[in-house]
Amino acid sequence: ALAEALRADAAAHGARGVLVKELVGPLSGLGQALCQADFCHFQAGPAMVLALDPAWRSFEDLKASFISKYRVKVNRADTLSAPLRRAPLDAVSVAAHLPQLQALYAQVLDRADAALGRFDLARLPALLTAAPDVVQAHGYWLGDRLVAFSTAVCAAQTLSAHLVGLDYGCNAELALYPRMLNDFVRDAFARGAQRVDFGRTAEEIKSTLGAVPVPQPMCLRFVNPAANRLLPLLGRAVDLPAPPQRWPFQRTWYAARGAWLADTLGHAPEGLPG
C-alpha cells in the first residue's frame, strides 16, 4: 500500500521516480517491503554514526576517552569558533532569515560531489511548528552576520544531522563545520540520545569524533516502466570506495566496548582497534 501511494504521489507531482533513502543499517522491514513492490535496492555512501557510551554523561566525558591528538583537534575547533554566537532558530526566525539560510545552504550544495535531492528550506518553518520536540535548528552569528546554520532531527534515541549551511569564506578561520559537528554531539547528550547520525559525506572528519560507517541502503523506482528495467544494472554498477577511517578513542576503550559498539550499530565496523 505504501509503495502504491508513493508511486501515485510521484505521478501526481510530475516526478520521474521515487527515492527512499537513509535506511540506515541492514535493509529494514520498510526496505524489504519496497523491494517486494519492485523497487530496486542499492547501496549509497555509508552513514557516519557515533554511538554514545552509556558511561558518558557529556561531551567532556567523550573527549576524555580520546587519544590526546584527537582531543586537541576537537578543542581547537571550539577555540577557533569562540567568536561565534549560537542560538536556536524557531519558525519565525527561519522565515525572517530565509534568504540568508538559502544562500548558506547553496554554498554546501555547490561543493557536493553528488546531491540526492535538495531540501526546500521554505518548508522548514512548518516542520519546526509541527514537531518542535523533534526538529531543531540553530544559527551561528559572527557579530550581526549569520554565517552558518544547522538542523537536526531527534527521534528513536538518535539525533540525526539534517541540514547544514555555511559561509566557506570564513570556514577555515572559524572552524565552522567542525564546530557544528561538535554541537551535534553536545545536543545529542542534552536530548538523551544514544547515537548521532552525521549522515553521508565528509567521512574522515566525522570519524575523528568517533563516528564509524554504517551501510545505508536506498530504494528507487521510476514512474516509467522501461526505466525500471535498467535499475538492476544500476544497483550492480555502484561501486563505493571505503571511506577514510580514524580511530580517535583509546585502544583500551575499543577493546572493552567493541562488542557493545557492534551491537548498538547493528554493524561490526571493519578495522576496529583492540
* Per-10-residue mean pLDDT, the chain, length 274: 70 74 58 71 81 98 98 98 98 98 96 73 95 97 98 94 97 98 99 94 94 84 77 62 86 94 87 84
Task: Give the pLDDT confidence score for residue 118 in this predicted structure.
Answer: 78
Q: Domains of the chain (ranges plus CATH)?
A: 1-47+214-274 (no CATH), 55-193 (3.40.630.30)
Q: What is the pLDDT of residue 97?
A: 98
Determine the pLDDT at residue 114: 59
The one-letter code for the residue type at 188 is A
CB 182 within 8 A of CB 152: no
Start-to-end C-alpha separation, the chain: 46
Main-chain phi, psi angles of 132, to 5 degrees: -65, -20
Q: What is the per-residue pLDDT for 45?
A: 73
pTM across the whole model: 0.86
pLDDT at 201: 85
Q: How far apart are CA 64 and CA 57, in angstroms?
A: 11
Nearest of 212, 192, 191 to residue 203 by alpha carbon:
212
Determine the Cα–Cα distance for residues 64 and 260; give it in Å rounded to an integer: 19
**Residue-level pLDDT at 17:** 75
Question: CB of 148 within 8 A of CB of 139?
Answer: yes
- Structure confidence at residue 3 (pLDDT): 67
Give the per-residue pLDDT at 228.
74
